[in-house]
Structure 1
Amino acid sequence: MKGNMEERAARLALYIIENRTTVRAAAARFGVSKSTVHKDITERLPRVDPQLAAQARQVLDVNKQERHIRGGVATREKYLHGRR
């Protein structure tokens, strides 16, 4: 998704908020890198729409707090299914 970076940042934020999704999932959906998503949400969006940026940041903060749990579950599943 090329074009206006501010518009992309807003669309990414709305997608993240509406779907409660991760940076990785948003990057895959929009065809950009995880670094681009992170930069759009943390640097570009606050200059354009601080309120939307704050809402997206809340979702990303929750994801950050939960990622160690998701990683542990994924590892557990990997070894449970791999050793049968």
Structure 2
Amino acid sequence: MKEYIEERVLETSNYIVENNSTVRQCARQFGISKSTVHKDVSERLPQINQRLAIKVREVLDKNKKERHIRGGLATKAKYEKNKSLN
């Protein structure tokens, strides 16, 4: 694996763990696609750093369990904003 890819994998993985970030937030922060982040943390990271891969998986699993809540809150905020404009 090329060195710059390994560096990116470690940077994005550390960002996810330190900030409890979602794949989308991480992708936005680093200016890369969600697909790249996902491939980095699910396929490349376990080959580079198994312990970090486990930590990242825990954060992503937690985010997956909570995403329906975040979606509901976003919808609620959207309608409250529209309601206040009227």
- What's the TM-score, normalizing by structure 2? 0.90
Query: Which structure has the larger Rg over C-alpha atoms?
Result: 2
State the partner residue of 1:80. 80
Aligned-residue offset at 1:83 = 2.3
What whole-Å deviation, never above 9, does each CA across 1:53-76 have from its counterpart, x for those lacking one?
110111011001000000001001
What whole-Å deviation, never above 9, does each CA across 1:17-36 have from its counterpart, x for those lacking one?
01111111110111100110
- What's the TM-score, normalizing by structure 1? 0.92
Aligned ranges for residues 1-84 of structure 1 at < 5 Å?
A: 4-84=4-84
Please list every run of 5 or more consecutive structure 1 residues that lacks an aligned counterpart in the other structure: none
Deviating above 6 A after TM superposition, structure 1's stretches of 4 or more consecutive aligned residues are none
Question: CA–CA distance in 1 between the matches of 2:81 and 2:30?
Answer: 31
User: How many correspondences in the alignment?
Assistant: 82
Amino acid at match of 1:44: R
Question: CA–CA distance in 2 between the matches of 1:4 and 1:26?
Answer: 17
Question: CA–CA distance in 2 between the matches of 1:62 and 1:42?
Answer: 15
Please list every run of 5 or more consecutive structure 2 residues that lacks an aligned counterpart in the other structure: none
